[in-house]
Amino acid sequence: MSVDATPAPEIRDTVSSSNSVGPAGPAANGSISTVTAPTPSSPNPVRRPSPTHSETSNSKMPTRTIPFSRVMTSIEYRNMRFVVFDCPTDTTLPFYVEELKSRGVTDIVRVCEPTYNKDYCVANGIRVADSPFPDGSIPPTAVIQNFLALCDEKFPGGIGGASNYTGDTDPSIPAIAVHCVAGLGRAPVLVAICFIEAGMAPLDAVEFIRRRRRGAFNTVQLSYLVDTYKRMWTKKTTKMSFLSKRSVSPNVAAGPAAVLAPNTGGAQLVMPSAPAVVNGSCAGGDDESNASGASASATAPPKPSLKESLSKVFGGFKKRESVAG
């Protein structure tokens, strides 16, 4: 067995050379030792460690900072504020919670398997709701309804209030954070659904989110949002909902009768103005027009009542039955 006769490299500590414990080993006072590189002829070169903060000061090693501008994405639309991010761990959770609180987040919707203990979030005033569904897939109906109910509760005016909201989004509005594993599939899908329910076109919702969070949505999710999804968060219709099917509103129907005037592009609905009656005569307009209008109304046959119309219909059926008998 041969012994390497190469002399050991010289060890020099930044504070005191007597405190070192070995090549590039930590000193007694917590500083990192540096090693002088040997000559090129040495068969066993020793690599010099990269400079660190401890070589210039006796303070502790700085902790690694997380670039939250890449991790978290704030997506705001009218009266709605969302924060989409990836899943933290128990180690990184304190940094996430601090950033979420600075963005006004009051609720977290977790759509993946748990990777951290949510008790820490609750202790810091942030509620966590679990709505997991498979990665890369579309959310089930129950998950969508629960998420929309939370949005309708938290945002001022609810989901339908987005159509009446004008101006920039108020930063005092509470934000809802949504995260999956990478924050690129399941989480942005729920945000897009909320925007669609608020009246945004599906393609506009996809583009709106992708401009702020690149890489969002896969092929399955895109097809679901654009071609398959139908709005489900609508107010319940009342018993008088049939009035909404009228071609003319009740207020207009109660006024003068509408007539169809011929037009080059088709029939045109013309609503004559109703003149005011003052002392038995019509105010506004000349006497000839008033007289002609009075004569026209006098010669026009009266419209049959509903009872008369029904009697004619059912009377006709009775006559046919009698003839057939």
Burial class (CB in 10 A: 0-12, 13-18, 19+), 80: buried
Catalytic residue among 135, 151, 168, 286: 135
Active site residue 121: no
- Return d(Cα 79, Cα 164) in angstroms, integer: 9
Active site residue 4: no
Catalytic residue among 87, 112, 180, 194: 180
- Return d(Cα 79, Cα 124) in angstroms, integer: 25
CA angle 279, 285, 290 (to 5 degrees): 65
Q: At what angle do helices 202-212 and 186-197 cross, to 10 degrees?
A: 130
Sole residue written with tokens 């930044």: 14
Q: Which residues participate in catalysis according to the annotation? A: 135, 180
